[in-house]
């Protein structure tokens, strides 16, 4: 099985499982044991984070949301973003370890993004496809709306096909030594008490 096939199946599983209760307050349970299948464990967690955050982003755009609730939700979104970034870095750590013994060829090149950040986009794409597909069958929508959404869905499906192939190609190139990984840890400054001037001033 190609890696992208596995990833896309896990992303679908995570979204479908979340949508059973469809609540941001539901408990998270990872179906995949991290010791038995580490990458599946990480992929499921990654997509679950994205799915919850998608719901957060919908809620916070309610024009009638009260300021206190909006502030609380903004902080949840910030925490979710940090969790997302951490999980992406765990995924890259997995690949770094997996390919650590590969003999890198002298003419090997680095990719513009690491495997995990491409996988991050694939997870978001799974959510776009899920929600756009719903729009194509929405009973209260006009035929014009459904047709327009079907065209968008077709583009998203093509995009997933292309991105999936690109990820598989990248992983193959890394495993063959034709490309190499180099991961830069995210250096977010606004959460740091020393780097954010507003937080620093409150110390």
**Residue scoring higher pLDDT (190 or 140):** 140
Written as six digits, the tokens of 44 are 């499921």
Report the pLDDT value the prediction gives residue 138, as an integer from 0 to 100. 96
SS3 assignment, position 180: strand
How much is the average pLDDT of 39-48? 98
* CA–CA separation, 36 and 44 (whole Å): 14
CB neighbours of residue 149 within 10 Å: 19
* CA–CA separation, 15 and 50 (whole Å): 9
* CA–CA separation, 125 and 155 (whole Å): 11
Confidence of residue 191 (pLDDT cuts 50, 70, 90): low
pLDDT in tens, 135-170: 999 999 999 999 999 999 999 999 999 999 999 999
**Strands, E assignment, 15-160:** 109-110
The pLDDT of residue 189 is above 70? no
The pLDDT of residue 200 is above 90? no
The pLDDT of residue 193 is above 90? no
The pLDDT of residue 185 is above 80? no
Report the pLDDT value the prediction gives residue 184, as an integer from 0 to 100. 77
Written as six digits, the tokens of 102 are 């590969």
Report the pLDDT value the prediction gives residue 92, as an integer from 0 to 100. 97
- Quote the pTM value: 0.91
* CA–CA separation, 183 and 196 (whole Å): 24
pLDDT in tens, 57-98: 999 999 999 999 999 999 999 999 999 999 999 999 999 999
How does DSSP assign 124-161, residue by residue?
A: HHHHHHHHHHHHHT-TTS-HHHHHHHHHHHHHHHHHHH
């Amino acid at each position: 099985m190609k890696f992208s096939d596995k990833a896309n199946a896990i992303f679908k599983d995570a979204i479908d499982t979340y949508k059973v209760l469809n609540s941001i307050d539901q408990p998270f349970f990872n179906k995949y044991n991290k010791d038995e299948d580490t990458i599946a464990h990480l992929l499921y967690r990654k997509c679950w984070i994205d799915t919850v955050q998608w719901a957060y982003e919908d809620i916070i755009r309610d024009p009638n949301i009260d300021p206190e609730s909006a502030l609380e939700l903004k902080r949840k979104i910030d925490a979710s973003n940090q969790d997302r970034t951490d999980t992406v870095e765990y995924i890259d750590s997995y690949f770094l370890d997996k390919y650590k013994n590969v003999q890198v060829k002298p003419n090997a090149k680095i990719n513009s993004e690491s495997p995990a950040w491409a996988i991050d986009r694939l997870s978001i794409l799974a959510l776009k496809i899920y929600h756009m597909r719903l729009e194509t069958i929405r009973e209260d929508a006009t035929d014009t709306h459904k047709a327009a959404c079907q065209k968008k869905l077709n583009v998203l499906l093509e995009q997933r096909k292309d991105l999936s192939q690109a990820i598989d190609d990248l992983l193959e190139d890394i495993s063959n030594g034709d490309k190499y990984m180099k991961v830069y840890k995210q250096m977010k400054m606004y959460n740091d008490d020393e780097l954010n001037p507003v937080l620093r001033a409150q110390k």
